Structure 1
Amino acid sequence: MDGPGQLEMISLFLCGDVMTGRGIDQVLPHPVPPQLHEEYVRDARDYVALAETRNGPIRVPIGFDTLWGDALAVLEQAAPDVRLINLETSITTSEDWWPDKGIHYRMHPANAACLTAARIHCCALANNHVLDWGYRGLRETLTTLRDLGIATAGLGEDLEVARRPAVLEAGAKGRVIVFSFGERGSGIPPEWAAAADMPGVDFLPDLSPATARRIGERVAAVKRSRDVVVASIHWGGNWGYEVSGQQRAFAHALIEEAGVDLIHGHSSHHPRGIEVHQGRLILYGCGDFLNDYEGIERYRDFRHDLALMYLASVAPANGQLASLRMIPMRLRQLRPHRASRQDAEWLCGILDRESRPLGTRVRLEDDGALVLRAEHG
């Protein structure tokens, strides 16, 4: 992963699921009504209570910047050109909850200021919670983000808008083009797919070579010299480290044939293995970055309290990865704190184990950051 000097690189902050609905919305200044339609939990404040039982009282409301904990200082120091997240919630006061889903996330539009507090540039929205509160919720989500000046991809009032990529300027260095896709295996109902006259998400019908070629046609229509193209994909299940052969083949096809330079994968609630293919970064699963799972015991062996900030440097001249640093965080009192050395070592061991079959290694630096090393690509 050697390349030109750092000044010529486009730097990106990426993370996985930012789930600011439900319990997190309840601790922000303007919560929606807390009633839920889940089988076991009927009040979103119960998730706050679980977190307090584990790690102590939370002074409510917490500030929009406070929600990001130690991440803001990391972002200030890294000063990435682009900040991209998978926003996994509807931003709405709609009461039109989707009846065939067991879990519904929403955040009050007034609480969306938490995104500007972290200076988020773009939200990938093709995921399995963005339509939890119906089409009214979809429209309010898009309106709120547009009013805040935050770019979106993967969701729209019709198919044309849902397929429209976000174009993010990185000054004289070039541009970052973000496409956002979602597939059924991540829990997205097929009926959420946008159509010519229907709002919805940019839904992948499958992970076939033909689908990759069609994406390539869309990339070719917008990509120009010194553009870095990101495919942000919500795919696969929530738990487990396996990267399917189908996912891997699709990621390779996007790079080899579709002109994509970076795969930003998410849906898993914990980080998965990392690959570098033909010099380009593939994040198969970034894990959650913000959630309200703090007091939930199920799946704790996966350490869903640990999160990563992915700081990638990419050469705009050819789309190749120059470096990837990952900052381990631990979610405590519903916000991220720098992880202890012990937690960072645990996370490094897991990522190195899962990445090794993909041709990369992960090591822990003295400053607590994890660094990716490609053995071949």
Structure 2
Amino acid sequence: MGRWSRPVEHSATLFLAGDVMTGRGIDQVLPHSVDPRIYEPVMDSAEGYVALAERANGPIPRPVDYAYVWGDALAELRAWAPAPRLINLETAVTTCDDPEPKGIHYRMHPGNVPLLQAAGVDGCVLANNHVLDWGRAGLLETLEALDRAGIRYVGAGRDRREAAAPTVFGVPGGRLVLYALGMPSSGVPAAWAATEEQPGVNVLPRPSDEAVTLLAEAVRRERRPGDVVAVSLHWGSNWGYAIPRAHRVFAHALIDRAGVDLVWGHSSHHVRGIEVYKDRLILYGCGDFLNDYEGIGGHEAFRGDLVLMYLPALALADGRLRALTLVPLQIRNFRLHRAKRADAEWLAAVLDREGRALGTSVTVSADGRLALHWR
């Protein structure tokens, strides 16, 4: 299965991205910037990441406008007009100066939220390991900034109830109901869990039968006829292609027992294999979509500079996957550029190799887009 043609009637095409890390170095080249001081073992200023990127790929104009970082992705968004447009926003949006006791801290100035609007972002997953980098006050400022901009969020909140609640997006002829959870395996501290009294993240300690049961109950309470249900999972390691057996078992159980139609996983800094289980899409690791890693050595074999736009078409009647188009891009100068043909073919080969055990394959079109096929 899988096709090149536009989705047929009664389907919805979504835009999904992996980690969008617009803090730190990227924040420094935007119209508004936080204090560049950071508290990392090897770097004390976010300006250092700008310098690394410029050393690797040449000057970055400053300040850039809000469309700049999205680059060639904007033309694809205009062409496909996907809705909703969803990202994992892996940064705090705050001017708070009280860092959490951890090694890496991301924050973007609240004045830069128009960057998200420039791409028409409808919703942000916040169940990740950077949204509380600047404490609970920083999280509250993040929520307030997104609220002011009219951008919905899921996976974090002012208390446990809000953090665990789904966010609902209207699509022509139906709704997309999105839940989000973050796991310690991706670096989300257990102490960041929202409680009855304090803000935080919707933390899932580990994949478990109990978690499936609880989510199944939540879905049953929320679901209406014609709804498509998606679950975002920030899980697993940053590097490597191996998919833990526990992740596959959990993803299958969400589909079998909780009625989930789409499993959207992220945390790895590069793409991982894709599965279609009972005609439901499972993205085990979407990879980063935007980051400030240019010029940083190590892990070059994984080509973390190559990223994907995920454009799944889902049948509104039953949530089944009808088609998945993948648009390859490259991060360069803190901007998304169309990937070269050779790079698109490299990504397709990786996904094809990793998909063999998952029953999927990938082909490249004449225009450089990728298509998923499954059996």
One-letter amino acid of the structure 2 residue matched with residue 78 of structure 1:
W
Q: Distance in 1 between matches of 2:70 and 2:7?
A: 30
Q: Distance in 2 between matches of 1:5 and 1:42?
A: 48
Alignment of 1:291-370 (within 5 A): 291-370=291-370
Alignment of 1:42-191 (within 5 A): 42-99=44-101, 101-171=102-172, 173-191=173-191
TM-score by length of 1: 0.97
Task: Give the alignment partner of residue 11 of structure 1, picking from 4, 7, 13.
Answer: 13
Q: CA deviation at 1:222?
A: 0.7
Please say which of residues 1-10 and 253-262 is displaced more in the overlay: 1-10
One-letter amino acid of the structure 2 residue matched with residue 127 of structure 1:
N
Kept in 1: contact 2:275–2:283 (CA 8 A): yes
Q: Distance in 1 between matches of 2:209 and 2:291?
A: 34
Deviation readout 1:93-125 (Å, 9 max, x if unpaired): 0011102x1000000000111000001000000
Q: Distance in 2 between matches of 1:31 and 1:281?
A: 38
Deviation readout 1:283-323 (Å, 9 max, x if unpaired): 00000000000111111111010000000100011110000
One-letter amino acid of the structure 1 residue matched with residue 92 of structure 2:
S
- 3-state SS of paired residue (2:248): helix
TM-score by length of 2: 0.98
- 3-state SS of paired residue (2:64): coil
Cross-structure match for 2:28: 26
Cross-structure match for 2:207: 207
Q: CA deviation at 1:331?
A: 0.4
- 3-state SS of paired residue (1:49): helix
Deviation readout 1:236-294 (Å, 9 max, x if unpaired): 01000010000000000000000110011000000000000010000000000000001
Q: Distance in 2 between matches of 1:225 and 1:18?
A: 32
Deviation readout 1:145-188 (Å, 9 max, x if unpaired): 011111110001100000111110113x2111111100110000
Alignment of 1:198-237 (within 5 A): 198-237=198-237
Q: CA deviation at 1:205?
A: 2.1
Cα 1:154/1:5, change in 2 over 3 Å: closer
Cross-structure match for 1:41: 43
One-letter amino acid of the structure 2 residue matched with residue 17 of structure 1:
D
Alignment of 1:234-253 (within 5 A): 234-253=234-253
- 3-state SS of paired residue (1:7): coil
Q: Distance in 2 between matches of 1:290 and 1:335?
A: 8
One-letter amino acid of the structure 2 residue matched with residue 13 of structure 1:
F
Deviation readout 1:43-65 (Å, 9 max, x if unpaired): 10111111111111011011101
Q: CA deviation at 1:335?
A: 1.0
Q: Distance in 2 between matches of 1:361 and 1:321?
A: 15
One-letter amino acid of the structure 1 residue matched with residue 202 of structure 2:
D
Kept in 2: contact 1:10–1:174 (CA 8 A): no
Cα 1:87/1:150, change in 2 over 3 Å: same
Q: Distance in 2 between matches of 1:40 and 1:293?
A: 14
Q: Distance in 2 between matches of 1:225 and 1:5?
A: 21
Q: CA deviation at 1:225?
A: 1.3
Q: Distance in 1 between matches of 2:259 and 2:152?
A: 21
Q: Distance in 2 between matches of 1:124 and 1:306?
A: 22
Ranges in structure 2 where 5+ consecutive residues have no aligned partner: none
Kept in 2: contact 1:233–1:265 (CA 8 A): yes
Q: CA deviation at 1:2?
A: 7.0
Q: Distance in 1 between matches of 2:2 and 2:265?
A: 24
Q: Distance in 1 between matches of 2:182 and 2:34?
A: 27
Q: Distance in 2 between matches of 1:244 and 1:26?
A: 37
Kept in 1: contact 2:7–2:313 (CA 8 A): no
Q: CA deviation at 1:7?
A: 2.4
Please say which of residues 225-234 and 126-135 is displaced more in the overlay: 225-234
Q: Distance in 2 between matches of 1:97 and 1:314?
A: 41
Q: Distance in 1 between matches of 2:304 and 2:206?
A: 28
Please say which of residues 342-351 and 4-13 is displaced more in the overlay: 4-13
Q: Distance in 1 between matches of 2:160 and 2:343?
A: 43
What is the alpha-carbon root mean square deviation over aligned residues?
1.2
